[in-house]
Amino acid sequence: MIFQTPGYVAILNEMVRQARVIPIENTAKPAFPQLAGVSRGHWEGETLVIETTQFRSAENGGTGPNMHLVERLTRLDPDTVAYEYTVTDPTVYTAPYTVMMPFRRTDGPIFEYACHEGNIGLYGILAGARNLERLGRQLRR
């Protein structure tokens, strides 16, 4: 989910319900690294550009403190936003790389992030299969 207020954009993603609050046009940055880096946004025409540096470490999907992430969000139509990001980290990669994917509008809420529902899903699948084996039946495919 993407929210915009005067001076800020907030992005809430499904993974661990992590919200990023990104100042727009605010160049002041904290003097210390943060887990998910320090993000600042600005507009280039109709495209929101978010630059993130000062990653604390590779813990949160980054490569480390030398990573530079540039994200671009451009509305393509009322239901689609083009999300593009470029990762640069000369200590890890020989060249920057860029990825683009469409974000499509969905009706309904973002689902809660859950790690395999307490890791019991596989147990249930295997228990059902073993029961069918005991009964001399096979799984339908």
Model pTM score = 0.74
Q: Tens digit of pLDDT for each residue in 24-59?
A: 987 777 777 777 788 999 999 999 999 998 887 766
Q: For position 20, what pLDDT does the model report?
A: 85
Q: For position 79, what pLDDT does the model report?
A: 95
Distance, CA of 87 to CA of 94 (rounded, Å): 11
Domain extent listing, the chain: 2-108
pLDDT at residue 105 is higher than 80: yes
Higher pLDDT, 71 or 32: 71
